[in-house]
Amino acid sequence: MAIGLIIIGDEILSGRRRDQHFPKVVELLAERGLQLGWAEFIGDDRARITATLRRTFDGSDIVFSCGGIGATPDDHTRQCAAAALGVPLVMHPEGRAHIEERIRETAREAGREADLHAPENLQRLKMAEFPQGARLIPNPYNRIAGFSVERHHFVPGFPVMAWPMIAWVLDTCYADLFHQEARAELAVIVYEQAEAALTPLMEGLQASYPGVRVFSLPSVGDANTRRHIELGVKGSPEQVERAFGAMCDELDRVGAEYRPL
């Protein structure tokens, strides 16, 4: 079981808005000893969203989906989730009550009486239509809830709402997964070495230490930094320590110039 992230919206793919969810979700997970297994970006295409959700519902992963749960014509996520599951959209009574209270509150702040039957308010109530059997995710910003179905959790695209909602889901539903596996990561900067020349070293480490993953991040350098490779190991702390020592020993043997990070 992995943790996945789906980010929905044409505005991300077109570059009109810069995604902020990916780094924040990585941060929220890391604070709890968890890590992201995969991420996908999808535009506001109903067929593609439905196909993606149908595939992920068929799996065992925990999935967070950001965006597209409003009630405007370019919001499709609620409908697509229902279609992917083969269930109808239904009005969630508690979700409806939250929206009605928000409408009344907004009207009071404007000094007028709320009309729950006004066309714009009836449109707002559509944000409480969720796939049958959905559970609410509370929204501390404006109380217009997101929803969960199975291990999928759907939140708005607005970071101010989405991030505390994701944190709530993690703390409420998955606390038993927190900090289950200790992880460590150690790396060095290796200067003026070709990645291909270091590949046998990486392959040897991977074979000798099965609890460790080796990584290399090459850089061509710039005005301030020479050409280099960030070379490291991550995984279980005990094996990481041994693998890192073996890696440094081999770098010393071949006369590579490096410094620890």
Question: Can you tell me the distance from the alpha carbon of 13 to that of 9, in angstroms, rounded to the nearest whole number?
Answer: 7
Q: Element (H or E) spanning 229, and its range? A: strand 228-235
Cα 259 to Cα 69, 120, 225, 229, distances in angstroms: 48, 62, 13, 11
Maximum separation of any 2 CA atoms in the chain, in Å: 80
- pLDDT of the residue at 78: 97
- Mean pLDDT, residues 125-144: 96
- pLDDT of the residue at 211: 86
In sequence order, the 6+-apart residues with CB closer than 8 A to the CB of 48 are 42
- pLDDT of the residue at 93: 97
> Which residues, in sequence order, are bridge partners of residue 1?
none
Instruction: Estimate to the nearest angstrom the gap between the alpha carbon of 105 and the chain centroid.
Output: 32
Whether 1 shows a pLDDT value over 90: the answer reads no
Whether 181 shows a pLDDT value over 90: the answer reads no
The class (CATH top level) of 3-177 is alpha beta
In 3D, which of 110, 182, 173, 108 has the Cα closest to residue 136? 173
Q: Where in the chain is the domain with CATH 3.40.980.10?
A: 3-177
Q: Where in the chain is the domain with CATH 3.30.70?
A: 184-260
Q: What is the pLDDT of residues 43-85, one digit of tens each?
A: 999 999 999 999 999 999 999 999 999 999 999 999 999 999 9
**Residue 182 banded pLDDT, cuts 50, 70, 90:** confident
Question: Could you tell me whether strands 129-131 and 38-42 are parallel, antiparallel, or unpaired per DSSP bridges?
Answer: unpaired
> Which residues, in sequence order, are bridge partners of residue 211?
none
- pLDDT of the residue at 18: 95
Instruction: Estimate to the nearest angstrom the gap between the alpha carbon of 41 and the chain centroid.
Output: 10
> What is the strand order of the sheet 152-155 is part of?
38-42, 3-8, 62-66, 152-155, 146-149, 135-137
Q: What is the pLDDT of residues 84-132, one digit of tens each?
A: 999 999 999 999 999 999 999 999 999 999 999 999 999 999 999 999 9
- Mean pLDDT, residues 32-40: 96
Which option is the CATH number for 184-260: 3.30.70, 3.40.190, 3.30.40, 1.10.10?
Answer: 3.30.70
Instruction: Report yes or no: 52 and 42 within 8 Å, Cβ to Cβ.
Output: yes
- pLDDT of the residue at 223: 86
